[in-house]
A and B are shown apart, each in its own frame.
Chain A
Amino acid sequence: AQSVAQPEDQVNVAEGNPLTVKCTYSVSGNPYLFWYVQYPNRGLQFLLKYITGDNLVKGSYGFEAEFNKSQTSFHLKKPSALVSDSALYFCAVRDNAGNMLTFGGGTRLMVKP
């Protein structure tokens, strides 16, 4: 069975500082990995994904994520955080057999001015 772990319930960052939101996964075969963001009273918005190729993936709003196969991780990063980045972030995984998306528990990112 596939699974996703987001070890931090909340991450606090000062505006302008780099941020990292952690994600580790377990899946049979090669993974498809996704990050989503959820702003208050909104649905989930797609940020970026890793399918194959370059381990560093760039996405929306200046976010990027690094796929690390040996550590089975897919951490979300941004070089300089904005207050408007404050939201709930979800990591998700699907195996390449096309099984259901599995979501992590979510990490609340708080960026303070």
Chain B
Amino acid sequence: SAVISQKPSRDICQRGTSLTIQCQVDSQVTMMFWYRQQPGQSLTLIATANQGSEATYESGFVIDKFPISRPNLTFSTLTVSNMSPEDSSIYLCSVEDSARPNTEAFFGQGTRLTVV
């Protein structure tokens, strides 16, 4: 299993500002993902964080709004840029082993973002 440290756990931010969320894994992992979750709702995949190259974004998400870095196999950041109240949500990082699709994904504890 993988242990994931995600921070901050929560934040309250002013509209128009940016927040960077960090995700640190205790072992090297092939796949890292960023999800958004409205409270009490399901998960929506934002992007796949690719080590050493640009992230792969899902429909409806763009790099300018959600820039992602992944400098190595254990660390990634997600930035929520130029925030508006609509960005208030829970953001989760997740890791998987692409070589073993029958294994489970592991999640960070999430970052609860409130934009005022």
Contact = CB atoms under 8 A, between A and B. Distances in A.
Contact of A32 (B41, B45, B92, B101): B101
A98 B92 contact: no
A105 B40 CA distance: 9
A98 B101 contact: yes
B41 A105 contact: yes
Contacts of A101: 96, 105
B42 interface: yes
Interface in B53-98: 92, 94, 96, 98
Interface in A75-94: 88, 90, 92, 94
B102 A106 contact: no
Interface residues of A, number: 27
B104 A49 contact: yes
A94 B6 CA distance: 25
Contact of A94 (B42, B92, B101, B112): B101
Given A88-B40, A101-B96, A103-B43, A43 B109 contact: yes
Interface residues of B, number: 23
Nearest to A32: B102
A99 B45 CA distance: 13
A42 B112 CA distance: 10
B102 to A, nearest CB: 4
B104 A46 contact: yes
A95 B29 CA distance: 20
Contact of A44 (B9, B10, B45, B107): B107
Given A46-B106, A96-B102, 7 more contacts: A36-B107, A44-B92, A88-B40, A90-B43, A99-B101, A106-B40, A106-B41
Interface of A: 32, 34, 36, 41-46, 49, 51, 88, 90, 92, 94-101, 103-106, 108
Closest 5 pairs (CB-CB, A-B): A98-B101, A43-B107, A44-B107, A43-B109, A46-B104
Interface of B: 4, 6, 9-10, 40-43, 45, 92, 94, 96, 98, 101-102, 104-110, 112
